[in-house]
Amino acid sequence: MSIAWGSLLVVFIVSFGAAVGVVVLVTCALVALSARARATTVPAGSAGGSGGGLSASAGTAVAGVCLAAAAAIVLFGLYIIVA
Amino acid sequence: MSVIVIAVILTALMFDFTNGFHDTANAMATSIATGALKPKVAVILAGILNLVGAFLSVEVAKTISSGLVDEARITPVVIFGGLVGAILWNLLTWLLGMPSSSSHALFGGLIGATWVAAGSSAIKFAGVVSKVLLPLVLSPIVAGIVALAATYLAYRIATRGEEGTITRGFRLSQIVSASMVALAHGTNDAQKTMGVITLTLITVGALPPDAGPPLWVIASCGVAIALGTSLGGWRIIQTLGKRISEIQSPQGFAAETSSAAVILTSAHLGFALSTTQVCTGSIFGAGAGRRLAGVQWGVAGRMAIAWLLTLPAAAVVGALAAWVAGTGTAGTLVVAVVAIALASGIYMASRRKPVTADNVNDVPAAQPVPVSA
């Protein structure tokens, strides 16, 4: 009996990388977006403490990049399945 | 096409239907529990995506139709017996709100029926172990580890964010991740029934050996599983969404993303794994990733027992059904009548204490911990 240990390992590595990658990217995007939310509630010049110390526009840009990267991982995965 | 072949195809589609409503919870339980999606919207969305998913891949269908039993030594009656075993086990576990594996039930039913009708030599044990049993054992563990790591990191990173933004963001993200699981479920589970119907058509010579499923088989299986999913297996949704752990949106997102990644990767490589076990493993992992003590490990124990019983129980029922059905047309009719009577009885029993879209979240829960805690 031959067990495809290599394929099982591939499943684990790919699943781990894709899932953790997407979750981390989305979470980072939300943290970055928090900077924008803070900017609307905290007066200018105050220490916000969230959003990684980013300005509102930088936070939005970082969030956009993170979400685009997460979307790219998901779409690439779907492409692999369909192709 | 003979009457028995048509009966087997209809029974297979009936199994696919039960598979759909039994497994709605896999994709949507956590989204419904966290309020990311309204219950009825969630199940309809899951149904549509199950249908789409059914058309994405046929790798698993090929595994079922050519990798488990010797198709030259079984008949449609054997497959009919196996399906009866799988359907009855699915209905019983649904009544108990137990997220057992529809895949295990199907494989168990087929193996039991084949064993009785053609002997143990007709079962490809190497294929059963390497392509089915091993992934079925390992997949919930893998999904649990992935979800645990993802949840832990999500909470660690989210502490730096503003709570309202984080919660809203994760709820929106959950709609996408739940949709991915529904798509993955359609891809993986609809294929199992496609495989069974293809196997039937091969046994009667309507398709050549090692053939893939024809388009009409893919379409009918997609529709059957989508209809079942749209019905919503509320009992199991309640168990997965509310009785394992008090799930918050970051956990739901991490669990669903992990499930989708494991299911889609496995489906691509032809592993016929159980989406139920993957999703359950992910939910336990996500629960443990936030707070180990917040997981109801007693529920996990009961699920583990149900998982262990599924394959042998479905095999026994499948074997019995195949033995009776193998006596002739009268035997097949007896099996069909008994199966319909038992299914009706299970449905009537479920009406005594119904779980619906309106009360699916009505379970006493522990006090939630803030997202940033």
pLDDT at B373: 43
pLDDT at B148: 94
Report whether B266 contacts B135 (CB < 8 A): yes
Nearest to A1 among B126, B257, B261 (CB): B126
Q: Which residues of B316-331 are buried (b: 16+ CB within 10 A; e: fewer)?
A: bbbbbbbbbbbeeeeb
Report whether B284 contacts B244 (CB < 8 A): yes
pLDDT at B294: 67
Dist. CA B42–CA B47, nearest whole Å = 9
Contact call for A27 and B262, based on CB within 8 A: no
Q: Residue A51 pLDDT > 60, yes or no?
A: no
Contact call for A81 and B165, based on CB within 8 A: no
pLDDT at B172: 92
Sequence-distant (≥ 6) Cβ neighbours of residue B318 within 8 angstroms: B81, B82, B83, B84, B85, B86, B108, B109, B110, B111, B112, B113
Q: What is the pLDDT of residues B35-73, one digit of tens each?
A: 888 999 999 999 999 899 888 877 767 666 666 777 778
Q: Is residue B356 part of a domain?
A: no
Q: What is the pLDDT of residues B231-283, one digit of tens each?
A: 878 888 888 887 777 788 899 999 999 999 998 888 777 776 788 889 889 98
Show the 3-state SS of B237-298: HHHHHHHCCCCCHHHHHHHHHHHHHHHHHHHHCCCCCCHHHHHHHHHHHHHHHHCHHHCCHH
Number of domains chain B is built from: 1
More confident residue, A25 or A42: A25
**Residue numbers in B near A21 (CB within 8 A):** none
ipTM above 0.90, yes or no: no
pLDDT at A18: 93
Sequence-distant (≥ 6) Cβ neighbours of residue B316 within 8 angstroms: B85, B112
pLDDT at A45: 53
Question: What chain A residue is nearest to B126 in terms of C-alpha separation?
Answer: A1
Confidence band (pLDDT; 50, 70, 90) for A62? very high
Domain limits for position B180 = 3-350
Structure-token pair, residue B368: 């939630």
Confidence band (pLDDT; 50, 70, 90) for A68? very high
Which of the residues in chain B have pLDDT under 70? 1, 60, 62-67, 131-132, 272, 292-294, 364-373
Nearest to A14 among B157, B257, B265 (CB): B265
Dist. CA B32–CA B46, nearest whole Å = 12
Q: Is residue B185 part of a domain?
A: yes
Residues of A with CB under 8 A from a CB of B: 1-4, 7-8, 10-12, 14-16, 18-20, 22-24, 26-31, 33-34, 37-38, 50-52, 74, 77-78, 80-82
Helix (H) or strand (E) holding B193: helix B163-203
